[in-house]
Amino acid sequence: MKQILLLCCLSVVFFQSYADLKPLDDAQLGAATGEGLGLVLDDFVFNVDDAVTTLTGIENSQGEDVVVKWTDFYIMGEGSNKGSNETPVDIGTFAHPWTISAIPGSDISSVNDSLAVFQVAAENYTDPLNNTEDYAGWAYFQEQHCRTSGVCSSDPNNAVSAIDAQISSMTLERDAISGKYGNNLTGLNNSITSDINNQIKPQQTVVANEQDDIEPAYNTMDYYWDRLGSGARNDTDGFGTKSDGICAFWEDCAYKSEYNNAVDNYNAQVSQFNDAQRELAPRWNEVKWNNVSLKERLTDLEQYESLCGDVGSTGGGCSDGAIVIRQAQRSKVVDVALGIGSGLTRRGGIDIGSKFEFDVYDSTTGTTRTDYLDIDLSGVTLDGSYIRLWGSNGDLDGEINLKLFADSLSIATCGPACSAAQVQASTLTGTNVFLNLALGYGKAQPLKFSVTPDGQFEAELPKLTYSNHQDFYQNAPKTSVFIGNVNLGGNNDLGGLTIDGMQFNYLKVNSHDL
């Protein structure tokens, strides 16, 4: 036991000191079996409210220091009422501890290499009620039911009704498209391919050829314009117009007819190009199959594929796409609803909050005023989150996956002098907030930490390459944000917020001196 602890401590110290993780050889890898150190914080309370904490190093536009007082920072148990009741919290349990471990990269599908990977991971839960991602899905639909139907009871099956309503609306949409084409989705797909090949592409070639003719015609016109005699030039309205006056014998009339011919030819080429384009545009509407235009068929096919997956690979079934994803999610929502319905409760979360005071110089009045910022999260769970770090050619690479769910998030800007009503009026509250932030995906797109030669911070998610793009799009974790309901000032419900399935193709974050 002592040896294991000592080893873990040493590995942490060395990691922090040099962070130079190197590939392990096979013999060394044999020894790395993924064992680690389990961590549990039992009856934990952290609070800095009896201390004076000041943030320094922040300057205003005049280069003067802005005094930022960090007047409160607490980590307590759910029910602490924004840190005012000292409520202890258990972070991790013996059955579900946080872990610090060195795991072989070959055990992680995204890394899949003989690297030693250092990992700090929050607890893991598989039951849907305690699994943050699953529970957040239920909470989102529970809130959606309240918003869309106005029925906001605590019945856990409201979420099931909401997701069922969504699945049924998607199914109706799918059936409408399918019915419009006699359930022949493959025929629809083929008709589009064939019409594009036979009607659109040949005309696109004509347009492209006509466009190619314009440039030489323009160059010829330009060539003779440069050589056009001054007398003939005086008879034009400028470049591109013909010299149509009578050029007297004492005037310089060189290249007049060549220039006029070139202008005629240029105008003819432009007109042919316009005609070809005018012919192309209506074909999208006029080329029909089953009496439906090509344009409309294309829109329908895209909609069908977003609901049911690529017709070419599913054969017109519905084995992929949004409906299948929602149906899979539905089973999790049902599990959570069943759990709550049978009287099971979710474990208590963590309350985290901070208060700041900024002394800001107001240059218009010449006085200093104090601004307040108060951020509180209640009922936070983090299970399933992890951070992984490994060395790669002397660089520090990593993956961060944060899954944070909070029953509520409140941001207030009114200071201690405000009345309760004023505080409420200036408070932004989000309920059922879920942030799933995924940065970095194994060796395909590691999150790279570095410092520039002039001492600035830099973090980068490198561009994808052709060889790894498919793996990335199919398997890389996606970032999403859900907020069940946003409320401003107590009475104004602003509705929900959803950002779903976001992936970063490229990201670079730099610090700069101002």
Q: How far is the CB of 341 from other proteins (least distance, A)?
A: 21
Q: Which residues are 245's β-sheet partners?
A: none
Per-residue burial over 192-220, b if 16 or more Cβ lie within 10 Å, else e, is: beebbeebbeebeebbeebeebeeebbeb
- Among 79, 88, 216, 341, indicate the residue that binds other proteins (CB under 8 A): 88
Kindly write down the DSSP assignment for every residue of 130-197, as one continuous string: T-HHHHHHHHHHHHHHHHHH----S-TTHHHHHHHHHHHHHHHHHHHHHHHTTT-HHHHHHHHHHHII
Using the rule CB under 8 A, give the single segment among 40-48, 205-213, 239-247, 271-279 that binds other proteins.
40-48
Tell me how far apart the alpha carbons of residues 163 and 152 are, in angstroms, rounded to a whole number: 15
**Candidates 38-46, 367-375, 378-386, 422-430; binding stretch for other proteins (CB under 8 A):** 38-46
Q: Tell me if 344 contacts other proteins by CB under 8 A.
A: no
Nearest to 334 by CA among 484, 154, 157: 157
Instruction: Using alpha carbons, select from 473, 332, 350, 329 the residue that is nearest to residue 404.
Output: 350
Q: Tell me which residues in 386-445 interact with other proteins (CB under 8 A).
A: 391, 394-396
Q: Is 86 in the site for other proteins (CB under 8 A)?
A: yes
Q: Which is nearer to other proteins, 446 or 484 (CB)?
A: 446
Closest listed residue to residue 163, CA positions, set 140, 147, 136, 132: 140
Shortest distance in whole angstroms from residue 2 CB to other proteins: 9
User: For tokens 């009339």, what's the residue?
Assistant: 253
Q: What is the C-alpha separation between 459 and 438, in angstroms, rounded?
A: 14
Can you tell me the distance from the alpha carbon of 387 to that of 99, in angstroms, rounded to the nearest whole number?
A: 11
Q: Smallest distance from the beta carbon of 30 to other proteins, in angstroms?
A: 16
Helix axes 322-341, 294-308, angle to 10 degrees: 40
Closer CB to other proteins, 47 or 199, in the complex: 47
Residue count of the chain: 514
Nearer to other proteins, 457 or 473 (CB): 457
Beta carbon nearer to other proteins, 7 or 497 = 7
Residue 62 touches other proteins, criterion: CB under 8 A: no
Nearest residue (CB) to other proteins, 94 versus 249: 94
Q: Kindly state the smallest distance separating residue 283's Cβ from other proteins, in Å.
A: 57
Residue type for position 206: V
Among 6, 30, 34, 215, binds other proteins (CB under 8 A): 34
Spatial neighbors of 463 by CB under 8 A, at least 6 apart, are 505, 506
- By CB under 8 A, the residues from 354 to 383 that bind other proteins are none
Q: Which is nearer to other proteins, 48 or 435 (CB)?
A: 48
**Residue 53 vs 327, nearer CB to other proteins:** 53
Which string of DSSP letters, residue by residue, matches 360-410?
EEETTTTEEEEEEEEEEEEEEB-TT-EEEEEEETTEEEEEEEEEEEEEEEE
281 interacts with other proteins by CB under 8 A? no
Binding segment toward other proteins, per CB under 8 A, in 30-38, 183-191, 245-253, 436-444: 30-38
52 binds other proteins (CB under 8 A): yes
From the list 107-115, 236-244, 425-433, 453-461, the region that binds other proteins by CB under 8 A is: 453-461
Q: Which is nearer to other proteins, 37 or 232 (CB)?
A: 37
Identity of the amino acid at 289: W
Q: Does 511 bind other proteins (CB under 8 A)?
A: yes
Query: Toward other proteins, which CB reaches closer, 179 or 453?
Result: 453
Place of tokens 């920072």: 73
Q: Rule CB under 8 A: is residue 18 a binding residue for other proteins?
A: yes
Instruction: For residue 212, give the amino acid letter.
Output: D
Q: Of the two residues 86 and 286, which places its CB atom closer to other proteins in the complex? A: 86
Among 449, 462, 477, 481, binds other proteins (CB under 8 A): 449
Residue located via tokens 């299948």:
324
Using CB under 8 A, which of the segments 48-56, 142-150, 218-226, 234-242 binds other proteins? 48-56
DSSP 455: S
- By CB under 8 A, tell whether 107 contacts other proteins: no
> Taking the complex as a whole, how short is the minimal distance between the CB of residue 88 and other proteins, in angstroms?
6
Minimum Å gap between C-beta 147 and other proteins is 36
What secondary structure does DSSP assign to 103-148, as a single string?
EEGGGSTTT-SS-EEEEEE-----STTT-HHHHHHHHHHHHHHHHH
Q: Does 40 bind other proteins (CB under 8 A)?
A: yes
- Least distance to other proteins, CB of residue 502, Å: 26
SS3 320: coil
- Alpha-carbon torsion (52, 55, 59, 63), positive or negative: positive
Rounded CA-CA distance 462/442 in Å is: 12
**Count of residues that bind other proteins according to CB under 8 A:** 58
Give, in degrees to the nearest 5, the angle at Cα 332 between 376 and 379. Answer: 15
Minimum separation from the CB atom of position 62 to other proteins (A): 17
Residues that bind other proteins (CB under 8 A): 1, 4-5, 13, 16-20, 34-58, 70, 86, 88, 93-95, 97, 99, 101, 391, 394-396, 449-457, 511, 513
